[in-house]
Amino acid sequence: MKMKDLIGYSAKLLKGRRADILLVCLLPLSTELLFRLAEASMYSLMLYFSDMKPSDLFIGRNTAQLAIAFLCTFFRWICTAPMYYACAVRLDEFCHERNRKYTRISRILLSRNIFRKSLGVFILKKIICMAVLTPFIFFAIITYGFVRTQEVFLGLHAIALSFISFILWINIRIKLMSVYFLMVENPEKSVFKIIAGSFRFMKGRGRYVTNLLGIYFFPMLTVIPIPFLLPELMTAYFLSMSIFKKEDEYFERDKIHSKNRKSHIPAKLSYRKKRRFKAYADTSETY
């Protein structure tokens, strides 16, 4: 399916349901934003009532600041992980149009098994992304040092390595974009199989997803069209994931059938044995 057809079909599918899908998409985003604002407000109080400098927030020397950062991150991950899974379940059901019988959000959030698996996928995804982002931070710091000392040759190499590390990080992020879709489609699989399956599932499809995100990203920077474009983006994204899954199923089924299919090529004649062929049907002369 072409990008234009995918976007047009997702827009038609959203008619009369745009507000519902918007609330579902805002569920994890608003939860994460709430904890971010709470963390920022705590830092503001620390700056106002103490002698702490704003630059100390980025250094991490204050024990209270580190404790607040750890607690806010911990509770944010716990609360947002099942929210992302609940959003994926509702979008998957909406795109498949399964008799409009949607699973209750409260039922998803209160399930212990779903909570453990969604949190495990969320944390493992964060660990992988942080591990890949570490070389970029390292080379960026080296680049800053070379720029300060005016080492042009070494600075250019450090900039190139920083750029390559950043592209690698973006590539890994794109590879892991299908984890929640695979969780919904394969609830019996473990956390590690879902992460590994996401790398295989997104192989050769990163450019398609990048183009889809690029179409909606720049208009959404103005913030105003977000309530209109966010449901359309998420619907188009899950529709593309469903199309990719059907393509894999089709190729897998075709591969299995091709192995079991009998060959239609007739067996070659063996030239080791002498065979007798008549020159004409009405003569008995042979060769």
Q: What is the pLDDT of residues 166-186, one digit of tens each?
A: 999 999 999 999 899 999 888
Residue 98 pLDDT exceeds 70? no
- Position 176 scores a pLDDT of 92
Residue 47 half-sphere exposure toward CB, CA atoms < 13 A: 12
Banded pLDDT at 155 (limits 50, 70, 90): confident
Distance (Å, whole) CA 220 – CA 230: 8
Q: What is the pLDDT of residues 222-234, one digit of tens each?
A: 878 888 888 888 9
Look at residues 79, 186, 173, 182 and name the one whose alpha carbon lies nearest to residue 126: 173
Q: What is the greatest pairwise CA distance in the chain? A: 117
- Position 52 scores a pLDDT of 80
Cβ within 8 Å of residue 286, ≥6 positions away: 276, 277, 278, 279
State the pTM of this model.
Answer: 0.78
Q: What is the pLDDT of residues 37-84, one digit of tens each?
A: 998 898 888 888 888 887 777 777 778 888 888 998 999 999 999 999
Residue 91 vs residues 6, 53, 177: alpha-carbon distances, Å? 15, 44, 15
Distance (Å, whole) CA 97 – CA 8: 17
Residue 279 pLDDT exceeds 70? no
Banded pLDDT at 268 (limits 50, 70, 90): very low
Q: What is the pLDDT of residues 230-258, one digit of tens each?
A: 888 898 898 888 888 888 777 777 677 66
- Position 147 scores a pLDDT of 80
